[in-house]
Structure 1
Amino acid sequence: MIDLNNVDELQINKDHQIKFKHFRKTIQGQTFMKDDTDYEKVCGDRWDLNVVNTPIIIVKALNENDVKETIKFSRDNKLKVVVKTTGHNNNSVTDGGVLLDLSLMKSISVNPNNQTVTVGGGCTLHDVDEATSKYGLATPLGQISSVGIGGFSSGGGFGHLTKLHGLSCDNLLECIIITADGESKLCNNETNQDLFWAIRGAGGFVGVIVSFTFKCYPISNVVVGTFIYNIDGTNNAKNALIEVGTRHLNTSDPLVYAININPGLPDHVMVKVLYFGDSSIGESLVQQFQNSTNPTTSSISIDTPFTKIQWEFDGIIAPGKYYQEGPLLKSTITPAIADALLQTISTRNTQTFSSIIVTELGGKVNMVHQNETAFPVRNSTFNIFISSVIFTPNLEQPLKEWTKNSINLFKDYIAGEYINTSYSTDMKLIFKENFDRLIKVKDQYDPNNIFRSLK
């Protein structure tokens, strides 16, 4: 066992020693090394456990200075830096690099007058929704509240408010990022505009964001219709999916749709229909959707707290080993896409749990030009997210093959890949026409490539 307080140098190889003791003195948070008592526990403190995570050093940063010192230390010792908050993403692991854990940096400040929220890089979506809801406000965030704000929003970020108010990164007003030189930079539409452009879609490639300020919107209680359809010979499930797709094409449709196929109920489709506004109008509109389909079971809730919708998966989607992937569509849900969705779930491996979450984009997302932010897929209508739990090691490869084969069913309808749900290493495929500009920003602010690589 290593006594961290007495280690002066850590031998990496015959030519490279790291002076850990000196570095430790610069950190106000916590540091962990291999063979330390708590090292394995801290490595495993993450949501997705289906990773190989063997950092040479873990830093649980307490403040901005800890982040700066960690970046300088990593740069000087030619070590890669990966950033983690909750560990939902497989990009928050390293083999032999530095793991920078921001989970202790949880400051939140809501300004109800100008309708903004400023949050620390270690906050979760739950933390943010909890703070803003006290003022009747919300910013566009995702549907799994244990996700960290940093990777989610800097990769794009979508959820229940996306159609109405855009991506999470579209609602980022400014942020503070620490780049490879160890210096903090304020970024917004007037200051460090090139960095601000890159952060909105590719933040993890150019630095560590320690503070975000988002635009918020008044969100009162919500009308929620929950409709369940059996996947059977009646075609009701398929018709419900097509109905969502048809309504999506109507740009004046004020309803928002969220779909979960196999939502803990085998061989079922659940469609949630949401209305943000006057409850009497919303109830009528949601009922019209119910009347146009033929759900097996249905319920309509009036004045549902927005946080109840945001937090409904809390305690259900537990940490574990997962394989998750899914593309962004350029087509609405057509009969062919509905067939592909139902075929996908019908061919799943019943020895484990797999589901498909379909999130509606369109709306405000499509109104932003593809070059305005680093996030390039502005013609997307829906995201299809296929998630599977790996109960035993022998299931992993079959699940990967099933997922790949399923995504191939949508190949003619795909607008692009989503950085937060992709295992692709081809960043040109993900960032498309924005790749060359992103490379220039990367070369300027991370010339030694200590953060996530673009190529």
Structure 2
Amino acid sequence: MDVATRDGSQEHLPDAAVTELMYRLRGSLVTAEDPAAAAEPCEVWNAMHADRPAVSARCSGTADVVDAVNFARDHGLLLAVRGGGHSVAGFSTARDGMLVDLSAMRGVQVDPDRRLVRVQAGALLGDVDRETQAFGLATPLGRVSETGVAGLTLGGGYGHLQNRHGLSCDNVVAAQVVCADGTIRTASAGTHPDLYWAIRGGGGNFGIVTSFTFRLHPLGPVVAFAGTFYPLEDLADVERRWRDHVVSTPDAVTSFIVTMTFPAAPGMPDVVHDRPVAIVGGVYSGNPDEGMRVMQPLRELGTPLFDMSQPMPYSVVQAALDPIFPRRTLRAYWKSQYLDELTDDAVDAIAGRALDRPAPQTLVNTFHIGGAVHAVGPEETAFAERSSPFMVSVDTMWTDPAQDASAIAWGRAAWEELGKFGNGNVFLNFTGLADEPVQAGVDSAFGRNLRRLGQIKAVYDPENLFQVNNNIVPTP
């Protein structure tokens, strides 16, 4: 069997070597010729990156990960890692390479007395929310319950609780990491603190995290939720009012604007069926009644088409956007831009692009960032962007492969136009690969932290085994 290597060539794997690994694993080893390869336990999300690896180690635990890493290193193989498979840029697979598939490792163990939760790296956000909410606890995790915890956290991790409790990576107190030499290390403030610093925002560059331990916060089970639908043609006026309001809201509020063509979803009123809309959303981390009062202005930014704002279970809020992001259906090319100021000209540019999207599934979104995110210094973790109050995300999504070139061109042009109002920094989890170099985004995202990250990479992965990611080059 021929497998892609890290240097771009092909390595022929002897049958005996493959058989030996197959017997070592508690999980399964699946080759591209195996009929079981078509039945992936966790398919990739972005249909643009559905290429299958030559061989997949479907791991059942950390020991399997160690054996898979040693095998890939010893044979010089191109290695990718899949947790939840939700990488927009396609880092959840390696064409003709080797995949370490963690998607069966979905265990979640809550310690309510210490307010900690240990989460295996294949878990999805919904897995964590279900277990932690049984105790009235939560940790900040994303906005789509089908997202993988590992990729979200390693890249930073924005979500509905960010302004009150910080990023996902800010709430990691420890992680178990299988490094390139096959050694299992615990990364925490007291053990391998350099590795602990690097994995909080530095991506999967330093090893394979097999479990995270997160800090938990009292929340729920019911939270205040704002979700008001405005006509998309009113976006410019709505967003100006939203901007002026959110900059002075308490940290308990995390708010955003999503623009989309809303599908004819069952249970939703006809007035929003297949209608281009701007949805102003918000979640309050605290008393639901107080939250509804505080977020009332989000419901009065214009003349709503529909208002579904109400106290609702936090787990329901976390899954509300799931239908918009079906797995292996959408083709996606995302680009992000941080803004130090959301000027009127920037709002007009956002509105213009939102009104001229290439497909109904495409989103143009604006997020407010502050509070606990900004309370962390830019060099306290690898995640360096700690000051911008707004981020714009151009989520170009479509279904027809024939539209790939035109959709990507639109997405790039929209990002470049909005870049005139940004500070040049990007959010690496919101990126889509086409023909642009990865390194440009890495340089932008990590800034002054990049040199330290390169040095830590040289300690834990000097041969760059883990390179299917937003790659950081080992530097002395």
Kept in 2, the 8 Å contact 1:247–1:253? The answer is: no
TM-score, normalized by length of structure 2? 0.87
Match of 2:384 in 1: 376
Match of 1:160 in 2: 160
Match of 2:294 in 1: 285
Kept in 2, the 8 Å contact 1:230–1:267? The answer is: yes
Match of 2:91 in 1: 91
Match of 1:6 in 2: none
- The answer to whether structure 1 residue 425 and structure 2 residue 441 are counterparts is no
Deviation at 1:136, TM superposition (A): 0.6
Change (3 A) 1:363 1:328: farther
Change (3 A) 1:364 1:280: same
Q: Which of residues 299, 303, 317 in structure 2 aligns to 1:294?
A: 303
Kept in 1, the 8 Å contact 2:2–2:10? The answer is: no
Give a deviation string over 1:347-402, Cα, whole Å, max 9, x none: 2224x521223333221111111111111111222332222333222211111111
RMSD: 2.2
TM-score, normalized by length of structure 1? 0.91
Partner SS, residue 420 of structure 2: helix
* Whole-angstrom distance in 1 between the partners of 2:393 and 2:41: 26
Out of 378-387 and 121-130, give the one that drifted further: 378-387
Match of 2:393 in 1: 385
Partner SS, residue 275 of structure 2: coil
Kept in 2, the 8 Å contact 1:10–1:20? The answer is: no
- The answer to whether structure 1 residue 182 and structure 2 residue 182 are counterparts is yes
* Whole-angstrom distance in 1 between the partners of 2:341 and 2:402: 36
The one-letter code sitting in structure 2 at the alignment partner of 1:50 is M
The one-letter code sitting in structure 1 at the alignment partner of 2:227 is T
Kept in 2, the 8 Å contact 1:84–1:103? The answer is: yes
Partner SS, residue 38 of structure 1: helix
Deviation at 1:332, TM superposition (A): 4.3
* Whole-angstrom distance in 2 between the partners of 1:83 and 1:240: 41
Deviation at 1:276, TM superposition (A): 2.8
Change (3 A) 1:211 1:446: same
Match of 2:239 in 1: 241
Match of 1:396 in 2: 404
Deviation at 1:113, TM superposition (A): 1.0
Deviation at 1:28, TM superposition (A): 0.8
Q: Which of residues 323, 326, 332 in structure 1 aligns to 2:332?
A: 323
Q: Which of residues 45, 48, 73 in structure 2 aligns to 1:47?
A: 45
Change (3 A) 1:447 1:253: closer
The one-letter code sitting in structure 2 at the alignment partner of 1:158 is Y
Deviation at 1:44, TM superposition (A): 8.3
Out of 161-170 and 221-230, give the one that drifted further: 221-230
Match of 1:69 in 2: 67
Kept in 1, the 8 Å contact 2:164–2:285? The answer is: no
Q: Which of residues 296, 304, 307 in structure 1 aligns to 2:315?
A: 307
Match of 1:197 in 2: 197
Deviation at 1:299, TM superposition (A): 4.0
Deviation at 1:38, TM superposition (A): 2.0
- The answer to whether structure 1 residue 227 and structure 2 residue 228 are counterparts is yes
Match of 1:272 in 2: 281
Out of 111-120 and 275-284, give the one that drifted further: 275-284
* Whole-angstrom distance in 2 between the partners of 1:292 and 1:47: 34
* Whole-angstrom distance in 1 between the partners of 2:11 and 2:338: 49
Deviation at 1:279, TM superposition (A): 3.5
Match of 1:360 in 2: 368
* Whole-angstrom distance in 2 between the partners of 1:349 and 1:250: 34
Give a deviation string over 1:89-148, Cα, whole Å, max 9, x none: 111121232100001111111111111111111100110011111011110001111111
- The answer to whether structure 1 residue 446 and structure 2 residue 444 are counterparts is no
Partner SS, residue 83 of structure 1: strand
The one-letter code sitting in structure 2 at the alignment partner of 1:334 is T
Kept in 1, the 8 Å contact 2:223–2:285? The answer is: yes
Change (3 A) 1:282 1:41: closer
Give a deviation string over 1:316-352, Cα, whole Å, max 9, x none: 42121322313242334332222122111222224x5
Change (3 A) 1:161 1:88: same
Kept in 2, the 8 Å contact 1:356–1:387? The answer is: yes
Out of 248-257 and 218-227, give the one that drifted further: 248-257
* Whole-angstrom distance in 1 between the partners of 2:244 and 2:259: 18
Change (3 A) 1:38 1:331: same
Kept in 2, the 8 Å contact 1:323–1:388? The answer is: yes
Kept in 2, the 8 Å contact 1:328–1:384? The answer is: yes
Give a deviation string over 1:12-62, Cα, whole Å, max 9, x none: 889754421111111110111121222244398222221152422101000
Change (3 A) 1:110 1:318: same
The one-letter code sitting in structure 1 at the alignment partner of 2:187 is C
Match of 2:268 in 1: none
